[in-house]
Amino acid sequence: MIEDSSDEENQLLDESQTMHVGTPLLHSSRLSVKLNRGIGNFCYRTVQLRGTDIRFICGVGINTALAVAYCARQLGVDAVIVLPKNTNESICDGVRLEGAHLILFGDDFTASESHARKLLKRNDVYVPSSDHAHIWQGHSTLIHELKSQLQNNPPAAIICPVGGGGLLNGVIMGLQEIGWKQVPVIAVETHGSNSFQSAVVAGKMVTLPRLTTIASSLAVKSVSSKSLELSLVHPVVPFAVSDAMAADAARLFAGKNINLDLNKQVF
């Protein structure tokens, strides 16, 4: 069972303001938008503990790579990002624009992450995409903001995309912390990357034999074990959609004329 948050955890939103601004809850008849800041909290707390004479290294996840590059620049820390050779050039440009050193290696994130970990030296810190308590805590602050913006009126449900499970873990933990324990979370994955759904159905951790989705930001063979644990204490509905449905949703989102600048939004 999840314990009530401590005073220190309650100060999390205030003390990490240097890494993000409040995420607006964007009203839409069809969708609402929240961006993650879990990586920001991880990086911020790491610098608090060890100072800036370190180097962040990351080798998995497009969203994570962009977030680490951004946070490193904000915090005055060097960063090395390793991505697969077939990574879209616009993503590569985004990483370089933040001043991080980019290495293209391997054909997938399994290869790039393995190479990134081999680069680790004494003062280096490897930044995971999802499986760390500080990442979950960072994401949980979204729910605290949601409570304020909804004037403490809980929503009927929260739809949450699932890759490695970091955002899902934070959302569930945040709901538990503010007392919205009855609000269900619809955990959405694409077919071909639905490791969380597979784990819930099996009742144990599942590693997918291969990834077949075009949704590269969700392409993780095995979800965080914490996600499966939290699904036992909170109402969670695993839901898998086709790549076509995910692509249609992306087009719908773009059609709403909502502009999100990664340099100005929350990670």
Domains delineated in the chain: 7-20+132-255 (3.40.50.1100), 40-126 (3.40.50.1100)
**Confidence (pLDDT) at 218:** 84
**Confidence (pLDDT) at 119:** 97
Over residues 209-223, the pLDDT tens digits come to: 988 988 887 888 899
Neighbours of 55 (CB within 10 A): 18
Neighbours of 210 (CB within 10 A): 8
**Confidence (pLDDT) at 21:** 60
Neighbours of 107 (CB within 10 A): 10
Residues of the chain with pLDDT under 50: 1-3, 5, 27-36, 259-267
**Confidence (pLDDT) at 30:** 34
Per DSSP, what are the bridge partners of residue 102?
81
H or E, element range at 101: strand 101-104
pTM of the model: 0.81
- Over the range 77-95, which residues count as b (16 or more CB within 10 Å of their CB) and which as e? bbbbbbbbeebeeebeebb
**Confidence (pLDDT) at 34:** 34
**Confidence (pLDDT) at 47:** 95
**Confidence (pLDDT) at 249:** 85
